[in-house]
Structure 1
Amino acid sequence: MSINFTLLLLLLSTMEASLLRLKVAVLLLFLIHCVQAQQVLLNSTVERSALLDLRSSLGLRSRDWPLKAEPCKFWKGVQCENGHVIGINISGFKRTRIGRLNPRFSVDSLANLTQLRSFNASGFSLPGSIPDWFGFRFPALQVLDLRSCSVSGSIPGSLGNLSSVNLVYLSGNSLAGRLPATLGQLKELSVLDLSRNLLTGSIPNISSLGKLTRLDLSSNYLSEQIPISLGSLSGIQFLDLSDNSLTGFIPDELRNLDKLVELDLSKNLLSGSLPTKLRALMSLEKLFVDRNGLVGHLSGDMFSGLDQLQVVDLSGNKFDGALPVALLSMHSLQLLDLADNNFTGVFPSLSSDGNSSNGVFNFSNNMLYGNLNFSLVKFSSIDLSSNYFQGSAASFSRRNVTLDRNCFQDVANQRSPGDCRLFYTKRGLSFDDFGVPGLTQPPLSKQAKSSKRWIFILVGLLGGLVFIVILVTLLVLVLRRCDQGTANQRGTANVGPVPEGDSPLPPKDPNIVSGVGDSFTYEQLLRASGSFSAANLIKHGHSGDLFKGTLEGGTTVVVKKVSLHSFKKESYIMELDLFSKVLHARLVPLLGQCLEHETDKLLVYKYMVCGDLASSLYRITGLEDDSLKSLDWITRLKIAIGAAEGLSYLHHECNPPLVHRDVQASSILLDDKFEVRLGSLSEVRAQEGDSHQNVITRLLRKQ
């Protein structure tokens, strides 16, 4: 009995200890819950008021930010810590009906959220410019995401004061002007994405951004050379400068970017050769330099050691010589595009054990020739079109192989026998003549080639001399017969003969054309354009700066300011002379001019509401999702027909014919109904006494 009583006491004591531990655990959970409850409550009345103002100015819906609920706990996208707002994410939000009627970049109340670390509004329409105070009020800001927000204006230099910022996304907007040099002060910056904007000028020195891993400046209007200072970005992994107007050589200093995984320099105006020193980029997986003006051979050393390469696009350049065997035989290669170059020679035999044979290869539009002595079945896809391959191709006729425009036997859509025969004969190569027996021509010996070359040279010289003598004789006879007629036609007017070149001289007296359209005073146009302020600047044109202006009657116009310090006098005189002679519905209407100022000459045009074609191909609609919508194909066809009508008028209906030398998307202007008006008419040139074809031929030679 005593033993049972002892056991009972032990059991009771154990239960009391367990109960005590349970009470302690519950107390700790309660304390943690109280602390967390304090953390999710917004303690600052200033910040609470700022959030309410932001909710109103942006037109946010109650379902996202309910008016009477606790912001830190119930407002979607609001993040708090220690009673302060540290993050705001309105990406994907929809505005109220009133907010959609007047969307704007109205975020002034954000200035009171001084502990903000992240602001994400990607995809949320914020028309307007980034305020200058943005770079001064957020010392703790780490993430700024304004992708596809319809932001315009320039990038404020004050952003260089965001000393803690790590990620900056401003892509897919209408930001214009030059890149501020203060971006080089963002020492903590890891990602900078400014792609798909309207930025101009050169790339500033950002060599001090040692933590930068991604730099995307693609699809802008950046010019000048690639700065060698980019070679100092030792930590960068992704560098995209594509689709700009960069010129000059690819700097050797890029070889220092040993962590680079992707390099995209495509669609620029780069020249010179592909630097062999880029073989130091051991981590490189993707290389794009297509659609430039690069030249020269691609040596085997160029790609030795680049074992990580998966995608290489060198198309649309002027590379020549033999195909680089080292590049073709890479094991990890998945896509190789060498199309539209001047590569020549026989196609190298590829080893069957390389993994690269499973990739997509494009060798079209080159000058490759000879027989294919290996199987093409192993390739996932290979394009050999528009070369000079010969022989039988019966075993190559598969879906994964494109053989058009070659010299193959028994294959449809090949080159003509004359074209193939001429190609092989010029190079002294043996041609099978599409399998016709007895016509195979052996290669010519060096001595035979040399003797035939001298014969051709002598015949050419003699023939040229005879042709020149006959031509001079005919010209003398024609000039003598026409001398009296031309003398009677010269007259005494202030008109000289048309000089050599691509256009006649402009009128000698500007008053001849100053009467085109209405005459404005300089003060009128100064007021209309806001004293030619940067806010009203549309773009820097080839022959003058374009400003948006509003006349006293409320009419919106475009004012072209031609400064004689920067442009020749003939640029505006030629344009006025053109409008005094031609008139067509497809040309941008000239409303008037102002020539009274000594150095600034002003031309006034009708304002095209839809801008130019370049900025209208993708536009924001009034739909609820505020998404980017492409122009429908009916509108595209309408624009194409309108542009063709304008060019047809200049080319065929004007006498003398006029040639528009700046036809591009930015010179095709659109009114509110997407009717076409051709702009950049300062580039229109003509030559009296010349045929239209001769003018085009001379212009092409100059280019």
Structure 2
Amino acid sequence: MANTRITPAIFLTLMISYLCPKTSSLTPEQEKQTLLQIKNFWGNPASLQSWEDNNNNNNNSSKTAHCHWFGITCSSHSFITNISLPSQNINGPIPDSLCNLTNLTHIDLYYNYISGQFPPSLYNCSNLQYLELGQNLLVGTIPSDINHISSSLVYLSLQSNNFTGDIPPSIGQLPNIQSLFLNDNLFNGSFPAELGQLSSLQTLCLAYNPFTPATIPQELCKLKNLRFLWMAMTNLIGEIPDSFSNLLYLKQLDLSMNKLTGPIPAGIWMLPNLQILNLYANHLDGEINGTIGALNLLEIDISTNHLSGAIAEGFGKLKNLQALAMYNNNFSSEIPASIGLLPSLINIRLFNNRLTGVLPPELGKHSKLWNFDVSDNRISGELPVGLCTGGVLTSLVASDNNLTGRLPESLCACPRLDNIQVYNNSLTGDIPAGMWLAVNLTTVMMNDNQLSGTMPEEVPWNISRLQIANNRFFGTIPSKAGNLQVFEAANNQFSGEIPRNLGSFSRLQLLSLSGNQISGEIPRSISALRFLNTLNLSHNQLSGEIPPEIRSLQALTTLDISVNRLTGEIPPAIAELKLTFLNLSSNQLSGEVPAALQNSAYNQSFLANPGLCSLSPILNLGACGHKSDGRDHTSVALILFIVLGILGLLSMALIAVMVVRNYKGKRDKLDLTKWKLTLFQSLDFNEHQILKSLTEANLIGSGGAGKVYKVVLGDHAGEIMAVKQIRSCRTLDSKLEKQFQTEVKILGTIRHANIVKLIACISNVDSKLLVYEYMENKSLDRWLHSKQRSESDEYVKLDWPTRLSIAIGAAKGLCYMHYGCKPPVVHRDVKSSNILLDKEFGAKIADFGLAKELVNAGEPEIVSAVAGSFGYIPPEYAYSRKVSEKVDVYSFGIVLLELTTGRKAHDGGDDGSLADWAWHHSDGKQLFEALDEDIRDPAYMQEIETVFKLGIMCTAALPSRRPTMKGVLQGLLQFDKMVAVCDQIQTNLSVQCESSK
């Protein structure tokens, strides 16, 4: 952990100003009155109730009573030196009178609702050494003359506000500054090379700001005293300077999530005090050569780059190393055996490389290994027997390799093992019987090996995912499985019947037993599987009829019972299911296919059933015969012919009218005299360029309100925008017109990095066009619920760090709307489809058609009608029509539950809403089962569970029990490791400042 040190010179200054303060221009009594004025200026907040002038006598104790007020510290001469009021719900700007307290050395207003711009009145605090204004609502730019603030300033924090523009070069003229926190703002200009002039600087935090792309200034390498450098997600480009090797005191270096290129400078690996190195998600390449001399390294994360070559032997000398993340690179050769001897290593993530050879045989024997992931490599040999020697192994992932041999018996004595994934290898032998006794085991993925043996009669209650397909297991399938959700056992040698009592499998969502030798009938108890969405029993020896109870499987979307010996008719109940895939082929079914299934969607679903027939030729089945009903079919045919002829003539007339109207519409569409353009952002385009691009070829979405087009201005590399066309008609629907006006009014006046930019609006009497910045990754719900595919057409999963970043970004946007806008804005339709994602998966709130400005912040207002989307509307809003900021908090809570569970907002099962469902799954093993399987990474499990619980808090039935968006954002930010480190640095420095007095 980085510690910020008070130098002897600064310590002496502190002591002199404490013991021998300058003469104040105010008496202690006057300073007390100043505090009362400040309290009144801030609206008499409840947290300052102790600030009361309740003594009218003139004795000395009454004159110094203010020194005992909450948050106030005085010198021995009763002059105020310290005002510390973090997290006290203080609203409003900083009063000019604050610096009338001329002996102030310490101001801490962290995590309040301080608004306005940076006040120049703070320059009058001439003795100020510590200024904490982080986590507030300050806006505008940092003043260009910031160097006029106290020359004694040691600590300055403006983090987590809404500052924009450049960081002024004059900030490099603060001679004694040691800690500078400017992270998590909206700086969209540059950061100055003059930062390199801060010779005393020990902590520099610039992370999470949308700076213009820039290289790392060489001047930063002059900061000889720098301990902590945090520049994650700051739009860095170019290479890491070789001169970073001069930062000999550097303990933590985080340049993650930028676009840095080139190799990692060799000098970084030689920094003697370096403890944490984070270069995750850049474009770094090359090999790691030379000596590894940074022997104090605790954590290394160089994952998701283009690094190659062998893993250096020097990593095996890092005796303090606890976490090694090198995944998503091109590393090759063997993992050095010496890594298995490291005594502190608990977290190894080397997946998705090109590693070969065998795993270090000593892995786990010398350290308490907790997480081990080497999947997607070319590793051969056997799994080390000592992986769980330390007794704390939680996750073992070694899938997609060339591993052979048996699973180690030692895994049976692994009490905390939760996740084992060894699929796509060449493992042999039985699964050790004792593994089924591991009480924490939830995920078993061993498919595509050569494993054999039988399964236990009862799958332990804790296992929720069991994938053993494409192996050599035999015997009967288990008869009980209380919490199993996924059971894939296809292509084995199982025999016997499907258990009669499927009630013990009631939580199953996927059941695949295809390619075995299972016989008997499909039991009627299949109706108990009400959560099942995929059922595959194909290529077995099943007989009897399809049970009509199958109608109970209302969640079923995939049904494959082909290549069996099933007989009888197809139950009409199958047509009641919402199936996207159906295969009943190669059985002995008979009778007519239910009418609802006689369509092209199922034209391959009934083949090789000689007894089946259909009235439709689409199904390629024999025609069903019908007896005559005595009617004159010739007359009916004639009448039908006449009717069809009349309809044909009417259709031709209608087409002619539409052609004329379409021609007129196109002519009017490009007639610029009929369109009005209003610009909200400076951009070089005109109406004609937009209008001519509104073609079907550019259509990317449509909904109830109209269509959305992707418009490219200029050549192929030109500006890309999204254009929403509100439904075109001669008289625009009044509701749509109101939504259009609301969106233009609100988005036309607010600016925030996490709110989608409205660039222009174009309108005429028939149509309204809204021109937005284009969001490459579209909406969040497409990634969570629609199997979003990448350009390579491969299913892409949102990992937890990305989901957390999206949640933080969306929370920042809502926080700005509630606290940074005057008057406050309530969105009223927060949902995953209204959270858009840019090419870096940065989140932005969109669609403000239902937004409402509040007259008084925090006070509910009654609206004429309830607005919003099913599943996201809080209960009090539905029945009382009262709208406040807590409406958005509830909706955002549902989004948090979607991010953590993967479920849709209305997917609450028997519990109704997702909020109620989550509440019933908020404890113990049910909580774990509730989480999305795509993100069950042990490395993040604690924070995923906490965010899940934060979602439950946000969806409390009573608005008063929900946190504010400010509180929600603060709760999410705590999970950013580097934010936590910054907070710890601040805590350490505060303690040191107090102890130095």
**Cα pair 2:337 2:362 within 8 Å, conserved:** no
1:641 matched residue in structure 2? 833
Q: Does 1:67 align with 2:67?
A: no
Residue 846 of structure 2 aligns to a residue in which SS?
Answer: strand
2:755 matched residue in structure 1? 611
Note closer, same or farther for the CA distance 1:126–1:271 as it changes in structure 2 (3 Å cut).
Answer: same
C-alpha separation in 2, matches of 1:246 and 1:84: 46
2:846 matched residue in structure 1? 669
Deviation per CA, 1:97-128, whole angstroms, max 9, x where unpaired? Answer: xxxxxx32142222423332221101121122
Q: Does 1:129 align with 2:321?
A: no
Q: CA deviation at 1:211?
A: 0.9
For residue 217 of structure 1, the aligned residue among 180, 186, 206 is 206
1:258 matched residue in structure 2? 248
Q: Does 1:415 align with 2:424?
A: yes
Q: CA deviation at 1:375?
A: 3.5
Residue 81 of structure 2 aligns to a residue in which SS?
Answer: strand
Tell me the amino acid that sits aligned with residue 611 of structure 1: I
C-alpha separation in 2, matches of 1:277 and 1:250: 11
**Cα pair 2:298 2:323 within 8 Å, conserved:** yes
1:52 matched residue in structure 2? 36
**Cα pair 2:179 2:203 within 8 Å, conserved:** yes
1:277 matched residue in structure 2? 267
2:640 matched residue in structure 1? none
For residue 333 of structure 2, the aligned residue among 338, 342, 345 is 345
Deviation per CA, 1:235-293, whole angstroms, max 9, x where unpaired? Answer: 11111111221111001121111111111111111111001122442111111111110
| Runs of 5+ unmatched residues, structure 2 | 1-18, 56-62, 408-420, 427-447, 452-666, 709-722, 727-742, 757-805, 821-827, 852-866, 873-997
**How many residues were matched structurally?**
463
Q: CA deviation at 1:621?
A: 7.0
Note closer, same or farther for the CA distance 1:127–1:590 as it changes in structure 2 (3 Å cut).
Answer: farther
Q: Does 1:90 align with 2:81?
A: no
Q: Does 1:512 align with 2:670?
A: yes
Deviation per CA, 1:203-257, whole angstroms, max 9, x where unpaired? Answer: 2122221111111111111330110100111111111111221111001121111
**Cα pair 2:72 2:80 within 8 Å, conserved:** yes
Deviation per CA, 1:323-375, whole angstroms, max 9, x where unpaired? Answer: 1111133211111111111101123222765424x432111111112233513
Note closer, same or farther for the CA distance 1:212–1:661 as it changes in structure 2 (3 Å cut).
Answer: closer
**Cα pair 2:147 2:171 within 8 Å, conserved:** yes
Note closer, same or farther for the CA distance 1:347–1:147 as it changes in structure 2 (3 Å cut).
Answer: same
Give me the TM-score of the superposition, normalised by structure 1.
Answer: 0.58
**Cα pair 2:321 2:342 within 8 Å, conserved:** no
For residue 300 of structure 1, the aligned residue among 290, 294, 303 is 290
For residue 207 of structure 1, the aligned residue among 196, 207, 218 is 196
**Cα pair 1:408 1:434 within 8 Å, conserved:** no
Note closer, same or farther for the CA distance 1:153–1:666 as it changes in structure 2 (3 Å cut).
Answer: farther
Note closer, same or farther for the CA distance 1:615–1:351 as it changes in structure 2 (3 Å cut).
Answer: closer
Q: CA deviation at 1:625?
A: 14
Residue 178 of structure 1 aligns to a residue in which SS?
Answer: coil
Residue 198 of structure 1 aligns to a residue in which SS?
Answer: coil
1:364 matched residue in structure 2? 351
Tell me the amino acid that sits aligned with residue 43 of structure 1: T
C-alpha separation in 2, matches of 1:115 and 1:181: 28
Q: Which moved more, 1:394-403 or 1:67-76?
A: 394-403
For residue 188 of structure 1, the aligned residue among 153, 166, 176 is 176
C-alpha separation in 2, matches of 1:666 and 1:351: 39
- Give the alignment's Cα RMSD to 1 decimal: 4.1
C-alpha separation in 2, matches of 1:106 and 1:253: 41
C-alpha separation in 2, matches of 1:250 and 1:318: 15
Residue 283 of structure 2 aligns to a residue in which SS?
Answer: coil
Note closer, same or farther for the CA distance 1:519–1:228 as it changes in structure 2 (3 Å cut).
Answer: closer
1:249 matched residue in structure 2? 239
Identity %: 24
1:446 matched residue in structure 2? none
2:792 matched residue in structure 1? none
Within 5 Å, give how 1:162-181 maps onto structure 2.
162=149, 163-181=151-169
C-alpha separation in 2, matches of 1:177 and 1:674: 35
Tell me the amino acid that sits aligned with residue 143 of structure 1: Y
Note closer, same or farther for the CA distance 1:119–1:372 as it changes in structure 2 (3 Å cut).
Answer: closer
Deviation per CA, 1:129-181, whole angstroms, max 9, x where unpaired? Answer: 212333x3122111110121222222222321121111011112222211111
**Cα pair 1:235 1:257 within 8 Å, conserved:** yes
Tell me the amino acid that sits aligned with residue 93 of structure 2: F
**Cα pair 2:397 2:422 within 8 Å, conserved:** no
Within 5 Å, give how 1:205-604 maps onto structure 2.
205-222=194-211, 223-301=213-291, 303=292, 305-350=293-338, 353-356=341-344, 358-372=345-359, 374-378=361-365, 379=367, 380=369, 381-393=371-383, 395=385, 399=393, 401-409=396-404, 413-415=422-424, 512=670, 514=672, 518-519=676-677, 559-562=680-683, 564=684, 569=685, 574-578=689-693, 585=705
1:534 matched residue in structure 2? none
Higher-Rg member (1/2) = 1
**Cα pair 2:155 2:179 within 8 Å, conserved:** yes
For residue 74 of structure 2, the aligned residue among 72, 77, 80 is 80
| Runs of 5+ unmatched residues, structure 1 | 1-34, 96-102, 418-432, 437-508, 526-558, 592-603, 627-634, 645-659, 677-703
C-alpha separation in 2, matches of 1:240 and 1:674: 40
Q: Does 1:116 align with 2:104?
A: yes
For residue 141 of structure 2, the aligned residue among 141, 150, 154 is 154
Deviation per CA, 1:51-70, whole angstroms, max 9, x where unpaired? Answer: 22211111233523123355
Residue 253 of structure 1 aligns to a residue in which SS?
Answer: helix
Note closer, same or farther for the CA distance 1:510–1:308 as it changes in structure 2 (3 Å cut).
Answer: farther
Deviation per CA, 1:654-696, whole angstroms, max 9, x where unpaired? Answer: xxxxxx98584455524237889xxxxxxxxxxxxxxxxxxxx
Give me the TM-score of the superposition, normalised by structure 2.
Answer: 0.42
Residue 350 of structure 1 aligns to a residue in which SS?
Answer: helix
**Cα pair 2:425 2:449 within 8 Å, conserved:** no
C-alpha separation in 1, matches of 2:183 and 2:382: 48
Deviation per CA, 1:367-397, whole angstroms, max 9, x where unpaired? Answer: 1122335133325132111111123338478
Q: Which moved more, 1:279-288 or 1:402-411?
A: 402-411
C-alpha separation in 2, matches of 1:511 and 1:49: 68
